[in-house]
Structure 1
Amino acid sequence: MNTIDPSLYLHNQPKERTPSPELGKDEFLKILMTQLQNQDPLNPMDDKQFISQMATFSSLEQTMNMAKSIDTLVQSQLISPVIQYSHMINKVVTYQEIDEQTGNVTEQKSSKVTAVSQQDGWAILELANGEKVYADAIIEVRNNVEDKKDMKQDEA
């Protein structure tokens, strides 16, 4: 018995197209070229109208390029949370522990930051006491006293 390979069915399936509400550069040029090709030879398009359409196209293209440039600028300004909080490594931070059930502060703890990581766009500080704390939970940052002692010994 011969069987037909199911992958052959997929090749002949109609392709789904999603119409775009935006008129792009290529679509604009196609419409303009079709308009020029199908114009009445006895009543050709007015040159002022043609120039107006080209100016509109040029303006549209410049606006699209500017939007792309702004998007690129915005993306470049977004700093990774790891980079943003890396200056906190070797600093001593104070944070509050909050009871998950009551939402009340149970105690304040301090520890030295040993590393910074990222999870779901949030900066997480890894501490010398083994805990991991979200950066927004930090209520105080100060220099490590031991580092200052080491610097004074190096100067002597």
Structure 2
Amino acid sequence: MMTVRLPQLGGCVCGRVRYRLTAAPLLAYACHCHDCQKRSGSAFGLTVVVRSADVLFKGEMDLVRLPTPSGRNVEQNLCPTCRCRIYAQAAEARDFLSLRAGSLDQTDWVIPVVQTWTQSALPWALIPGVRHLPQEEFDFVALGREWQAWAPKFVTD
């Protein structure tokens, strides 16, 4: 089992926004919906769900409210200079936020428990060995328990 030291650091491309993740994440997953493809500029979005209280941000961010494929409005938080998306947060779930995994300085431990919206996936971008889960079956709590059962061991310095 991999061991990951906390805090984990992250930030935007230009360095204007930085953060410290001080506790173990709750979940990591990949999303192949068209919105995640467009917002990431890539084949899919890779997300790490954390408790809001476990992340300390430094630097101002712009907030943009955008609808998701499910119809909910989600707040996207990004650097005002380089426009790098750092995290998203749903109004109805203020205790949690979805960090963009690529904004972490160290990403080798981010292994998704599932991939969803695979009907929108680029055929070559499906992740081998990662279970496909229809979006209507996505349950953050159950998937979090599943991910934590085999996730890396997080330790503090």
Please tell me the TM-score bracket, short chain as reference: under 0.3
Instruction: Give 1 or 2: higher strand fraction.
Output: 2
The structure that has the greater radius of gyration is 1
TM-score by length of 1: 0.19
More helix by share: 1
TM-score, structure 2 length as denominator? 0.19
Q: Which has the higher contact order (CA 8 A, sep 6+)?
A: 2
